[in-house]
Amino acid sequence: MSEPESLQELDTQEGYARWAASYDQESNLLIILEELFVDRLLARLSFSKALDVGAGTGRYALKLARAGATVTALDRSPEMLAVARQAAQREGLPIDFQLTALDDGLRFESDQFDLLICALVLCHIPDMARAVQEFARVLQNGGYLLITDFHPAHTDYGWRTQFKQAGVKYLLPTMPHTREDYLNAITTSGLTIREVMDIPLRELPEEYHSEEFVRSNIEKQVCLIILAQK
**95-123 pLDDT per residue, tens:** 999 999 988 899 999 999 999 999 999 99
pLDDT band at 3 (very low <50, low <70, confident <90, very high): low
Per-residue pLDDT at 197 = 98
Pairing between β-strand 139-150 and β-strand 221-229 as defined by DSSP bridges: antiparallel
Residue 117 in contact with residue 59, Cβ under 8 Å? no
Kindly report, residue by residue over 8-64, the tens digit of the pLDDT.
Answer: 999 999 999 999 999 999 889 999 999 999 999 999 999 999 999 999 999 999 999
| φ, ψ dihedrals at 123, nearest 5° | -65, -15
pLDDT over 70 (residue 2):
no
Per-residue pLDDT at 103 = 84
The overall average pLDDT reported for the chain is 95
**Rounded distance between C-alpha atoms, residue 206 and residue 213, angstroms:** 14
Kindly report, residue by residue over 125-165, the tens digit of the pLDDT.
Answer: 999 999 999 999 999 999 999 999 999 999 999 999 999 99
In the chain, the amino acid numbered 140 is Q
pLDDT band at 1 (very low <50, low <70, confident <90, very high): very low
Mean predicted confidence (pLDDT) in 170-175: 95
Domains of the chain (ranges plus CATH)? 23-152+177-229 (3.40.50.150)
**Rounded distance between C-alpha atoms, residue 130 and residue 109, angstroms:** 16
Per-residue pLDDT at 104 = 80
pTM attached to this predicted model = 0.95
pLDDT band at 4 (very low <50, low <70, confident <90, very high): low
**Rounded distance between C-alpha atoms, residue 105 and residue 167, angstroms:** 37
